Every structure is written in structure tokens, then in C-alpha cells.
């Protein structure tokens, strides 16, 4: 019997194969698995890396040189700029002359004499005597440098080129502007000088790829002895695709981009409904204009449309630096889409130092004219300041003729930036508007970006008109009053920016905004929306020679 038992035991101890073990293990695990109940705790981990983009200069930031008359001096000092930017959409660097703490002014890109008894200046040029050896000029250039021990070019910039436009002082010789990697005219408004379209730059201050600036000057034999000084400002913006000159950061009151859009021109009839559905009514967003990369506050208002909530500030250019066609500007609209069309402006926007307009058509200025008053704001308060001291306290400019404060100069809320003033011919993107003579005739084109247009006015009640918009906010056509005057500050943001007629007038007392509609058969008249003291609206008219602001609405 023992032998039988032992034999049986031997049979039970036959080793299991590897396959058998695997199956057995699987069976055991399956039979002992316990699932989590409803009281389980799940940890979710979220790490946010904040946006951080900085630019710092090292080395010699003040550049000084003694230059004798009739001589040329290159490489007047260098500044090395280091960039740290973790925006994966890239970044860009803009430069502008900054003399007198002013960008875009008459002297912004000049070196101005400091002598109290003189007013001599050195113009910006190519730092050569080409064209006219009697004209002093100075220039800037940028180069990309790399440490000798750094073998990677992952952080490399692209140095930009400027428009190939001859300088007035060098036109006779045929000289043209050079790329910024060579000596180049110092721009008097922000111009992109270098960029990185995509990828981050983690350059440390002691290594990697760096951007270096330097300057040169030619001093003519007739240049008066003096010390001439000026400044150039370099500004980092990101991403590189849509923030640019004139608006280097999103306006302080509009820090949210329109969902799905970067440019105003990207809005089309096919994507408009989707874009609007992702926006909150009366909330403020921003978009950029492709023509000059300036950013504007926009909002979906109660009429269901997308409106600019900031005055148009586009400087009309005649030097070829801006292209006006149906892809950039509101031209060639056929009722459903844009057809091929273009416009060559006859006159550029006048600067603050040039207020003269051309008279034509019996003094009604039917030729296009526009005026840039500079960086002027109205701070939102109704009425005029009663004393010169009050005006000065508010940052305004006192008008001694009628004893009131004409405008407020500020760096505050961009909704109240006065923008540019356009006569009606310029507002409808024409060189001559004599052909529009019929009552309620619609120009159906404008200086607005493509995809946007001037609102309708007068008795027009269609969606996209001033009247329909104002009615949604409680405007009564009989009393001409609006129930909630605060909408000018909280939603529509229409400042009392007055008008221009040889000088600014009515700022702080009224606002006149152009429409696309002819007011009457009387030739010089066109329709406007006229605001008074934030609670009265008159959908009246204005003579076409007046310079009024422009607000655009999406088509």
C-alpha cells in the first residue's frame, strides 16, 4: 500500500509546463481582482507654464562719437540684445526713432541739436553722401551674432528687409533703402526689424544667438557745430504673427483675442457665424489690421454684429508700403463677396505738423484727405473742462479761443483713442466723390479692412446700421435720446471725439462718425451718426470736407 501511495504522489508532482504556469497565474489573478468602488479618489495633475518674453541689452547703450565735417564714421558703438521668449508662435522685434519721447512725430527719427540758440537737426538716411554730400544723415543696422563655442542655430533670428523705396534726399542718385542687416534709415514709426516665426528662444544672457545694433553717420561740410542727440527704441512683441507697430501689446482694456481669428481681414461670410457664436455679447476682444498690424478693440454687440469699439487709426499711405485691394481693404464688394478691385490713394494721411487740406469742388474737399492728430484720447467724461488748470490736470490741450479743453492726451483706455480723421471721400476709399449725388446712395466700399465696412446711417434700419444698433440699446427716434447713456462707456465705446476742420473742434462735446450713405441730393453732404453728451444721438449729416472718425462693422 505504501508503494502505491508513493507512486500516486509522484504522479501529482510532475512539473507543470511554462504554458500551464501562465494559465494558472492568469486564472488566479482573475479570480482575485477587486474593482474600485464609487468612493475612489483620482488625482489630476495640471502644470501651467506662464508666458515669459523679455529682451535685455548689454554693453554700450549710449553711443557717442566726435565726427568732423565732411567725414563718415561707421560702427558708432554696439548694443547686444538677449531674448528669452517661450511663445511657440515666435516673436518679433520692432524699432522706431524715439527723439523727444515721441514715436511717429516730426522729429522722431532725427538727431536734434541741443544748442539753445539753434534748431539744426540731422536727418536719418543711409549714412552716406550719396545723392547730396551737403546733407548730413545717420543710420542704423542689425547683425546676428553667435558665440564661438555655440554650434547650434536653433535660436537664430531672421533680419528683415525694408520696402525698396528711394529716400527723398537720395532719389536723384537712385539710392534705395537697404535691408536692416546693412545700414538703413531709422524708421519714424515702428517697423519690424527681426523676427522668429515659430519656436521658442531660450537664449541665456551669456551665450546663444544674439542681436547686435550699431549706428553710422555722415556729417556734411556745412553742418553747424553742436551736440546732436536722439534715441532708437527696440521692442519685443509676441507672437510674431499679429502684434505690431502702433499697438505693441493688446490694448489694456482688450486682452482677449477673438477666438479663431488673428486679423480683421480673416473674417469671412463662411466663418462669421462660428466666430460670433464663440464670443460673449458686449465683451471686449481684439483683432489686428493686416495693412499696418495695429490692433483694435472689437465686440459682439446687441444687434448680433461684430463692431470695432475703437476708432480707426489707419494712416493712408501713398509710398507703396501699403497695398489697397480687395484682400486688404473694403473694395469690390458685389453683395455677397469681394471681386477684384484696387485703390491707389491720391494723398497720404497728414501728420500733426501738416494740417492743410486741398480744396476742390467749391471748397467741399471732394478729394480724399485724412489727418492724424497723434496719440490723443478723450477720457470718457462728458462736457468740457471749465478752466485751463482743470484741462492741464486731465492731460488736455486748452483751446483759448472758446475757453475749453479740446482733447485728452493719455496712455489709458484705448477705446477712447481719437484715431484718425477722414473726410468722406477718404472714408469711402475714393480720390473723388463727385459721382455720389443721389439721396441715400450707398458708396458700398470704405477704408475699413476687407470683411468690414462703414455702417449705414440716416433712416436705414437694416442690421449693420447705426440706427438698428442704437435701438437695441434703447434709443428712441422721437426724443433722439438713449435710455442708458452708460453704453457709450460700457459697450459701444463711442468717445466724443468731435471733428477736424482746420483744427479739432467739439472734442468732449460731441462725436461724428461717418456712414457709407449720401445724406441728400445736395452734393457736399453725407450721413453721420452724431452723438451729444453721451445721451443724445442725431442720425444727421455732415459736409464731406469735415474730418470725422470711422467705426467699422463686420459685413
Residues paired with 244 in a beta bridge: 247
CA distance 333 to 361: 27
**Strand 228-229, strand 232-237: pairing:** unpaired
Q: Give the model's pLDDT for residue 8.
A: 27
% of the chain surpassing 70 pLDDT? 69
Binned at pLDDT 50, 70 and 90, residue 548 comes out as very high
pLDDT tens digits, one per residue of 392-427: 777 777 777 767 777 777 656 788 888 999 999 999
CA distance 404 to 399: 5
Residue 208 CB coordination number (10 Å): 21
% of the chain surpassing 90 pLDDT? 22
CA distance 299 to 312: 14
**Strand 396-399, strand 421-422: pairing:** unpaired
- Tell me how far apart the terminal alpha carbons of the chain are, to the nearest angstrom: 104
CB 121, CB 113: distance < 8 Å: yes
DSSP state of 266: G
CA distance 332 to 338: 5
Q: Cβ neighbours of residue 488 under 8 Å, at least 6 residues apart?
A: 380, 494, 495, 531, 534
Residues 251-274 have a mean pLDDT of 86
Residue 393 CB coordination number (10 Å): 11
Q: Average pLDDT of the chain?
A: 75
155-164, 266-275, 323-332, 387-396: range with lowest mean pLDDT: 155-164
CA distance 231 to 354: 24
Residues paired with 547 in a beta bridge: 500
Q: What values do phi and psi take at 173, rounded to 5? A: -90, -10
CA distance 314 to 200: 31
What does the radius of gyration of the chain's CA atoms come to, in whole angstroms? 32
pLDDT tens digits, one per residue of 513-542: 898 988 765 545 666 665 554 456 777 778
CA distance 171 to 165: 9
19-28, 373-382, 419-428, 469-478: range with lowest mean pLDDT: 19-28
Ranges 51-55, 242-246, 251-255, 347-351, most confident:
347-351
Binned at pLDDT 50, 70 and 90, residue 299 comes out as very high
* Helical residues (DSSP H) of 407-508, grouped into ranges: 424-427, 466-472, 487-490
CA distance 529 to 493: 14
Amino acid at each position: 500500500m505504501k508503494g502505491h501511495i508513493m507512486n500516486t504522489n509522484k504522479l501529482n508532482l510532475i512539473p507543470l509546463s511554462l504554458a500551464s504556469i501562465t494559465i494558472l497565474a492568469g486564472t488566479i489573478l482573475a479570480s482575485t481582482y477587486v474593482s474600485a468602488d464609487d468612493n475612489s479618489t483620482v488625482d489630476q495633475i495640471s502644470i501651467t507654464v506662464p508666458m515669459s518674453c523679455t529682451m535685455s541689452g548689454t554693453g554700450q547703450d549710449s553711443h557717442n562719437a566726435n565726427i568732423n565735417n565732411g567725414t563718415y564714421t561707421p560702427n558708432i558703438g554696439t548694443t547686444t540684445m538677449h531674448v528669452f521668449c517661450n511663445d511657440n508662435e515666435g516673436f518679433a522685434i520692432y524699432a522706431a526713432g524715439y527723439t523727444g519721447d515721441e514715436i511717429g512725430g516730426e522729429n522722431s527719427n532725427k538727431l536734434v541739436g541741443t544748442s539753445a540758440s539753434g534748431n539744426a537737426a540731422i536727418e536719418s538716411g543711409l549714412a552716406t553722401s550719396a545723392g547730396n554730400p551737403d546733407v548730413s544723415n545717420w543710420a542704423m543696422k542689425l547683425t546676428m551674432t553667435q558665440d564661438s563655442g555655440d554650434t547650434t542655430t536653433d535660436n537664430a533670428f531672421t533680419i528683415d528687409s525694408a520696402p525698396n523705396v528711394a529716400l527723398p534726399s537720395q532719389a536723384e542718385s537712385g539710392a534705395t533703402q537697404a535691408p536692416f542687416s546693412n545700414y538703413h534709415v531709422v524708421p519714424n514709426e515702428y517697423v519690424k526689424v527681426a523676427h522668429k516665426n515659430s519656436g521658442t528662444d531660450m537664449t541665456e544672457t551669456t551665450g546663444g544667438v544674439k542681436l547686435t545694433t550699431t549706428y553710422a553717420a555722415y556729417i556734411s561740410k556745412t553742418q553747424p557745430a553742436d551736440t546732436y542727440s536722439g534715441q532708437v527704441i527696440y521692442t519685443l512683441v509676441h507672437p510674431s504673427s499679429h502684434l505690431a507697430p502702433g499697438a505693441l501689446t493688446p490694448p489694456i482694456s482688450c486682452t482677449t483675442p477673438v477666438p479663431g481669428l488673428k486679423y480683421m481681414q480673416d473674417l469671412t461670410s463662411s466663418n462669421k457665424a462660428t466666430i460670433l457664436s464663440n464670443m460673449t455679447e458686449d465683451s471686449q476682444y481684439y483683432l489686428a489690421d493686416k495693412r499696418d498690424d495695429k490692433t483694435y478693440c472689437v465686440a459682439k454687440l446687441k444687434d448680433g454684429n461684430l463692431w470695432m469699439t475703437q476708432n480707426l487709426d489707419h494712416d493712408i499711405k501713398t509710398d507703396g508700403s501699403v497695398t489697397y485691394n480687395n484682400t486688404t481693404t473694403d473694395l469690390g464688394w458685389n453683395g455677397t463677396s469681394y471681386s477684384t478691385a484696387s485703390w491707389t490713394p491720391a494723398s497720404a494721411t497728414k501728420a500733426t505738423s501738416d494740417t492743410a487740406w486741398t480744396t476742390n469742388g467749391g471748397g467741399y474737399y471732394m478729394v480724399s484727405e485724412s489727418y492724424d492728430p497723434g496719440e490723443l484720447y478723450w477720457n470718457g467724461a462728458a462736457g468740457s473742462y471749465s478752466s485751463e488748470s482743470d484741462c492741464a490736470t486731465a492731460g488736455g490741450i486748452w483751446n483759448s479761443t472758446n475757453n475749453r479743453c479740446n482733447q485728452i492726451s493719455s496712455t489709458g483706455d484705448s477705446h477712447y483713442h481719437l484715431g484718425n480723421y477722414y473726410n468722406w471721400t477718404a472714408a469711402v476709399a475714393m480720390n473723388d466723390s463727385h459721382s455720389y449725388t443721389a439721396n441715400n446712395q450707398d458708396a458700398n466700399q470704405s477704408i475699413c479692412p476687407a470683411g468690414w465696412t462703414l455702417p449705414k446711417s440716416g433712416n436705414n434700419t437694416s442690421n449693420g446700421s447705426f440706427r438698428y444698433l442704437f435701438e437695441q440699446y434703447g434709443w428712441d427716434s422721437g426724443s433722439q435720446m438713449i435710455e442708458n447713456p452708460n453704453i457709450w462707456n460700457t459697450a459701444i465705446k463711442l468717445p466724443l471725439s468731435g471733428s477736424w476742420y482746420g483744427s479739432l473742434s467739439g472734442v468732449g462735446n460731441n462725436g461724428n462718425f461717418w456712414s457709407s450713405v449720401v445724406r441728400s441730393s445736395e452734393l457736399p453732404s453725407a450721413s453721420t451718426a452724431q452723438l451729444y453728451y453721451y445721451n443724445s444721438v442725431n442720425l444727421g449729416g455732415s459736409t464731406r470736407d469735415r474730418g470725422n472718425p470711422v467705426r467699422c462693422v463686420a459685413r
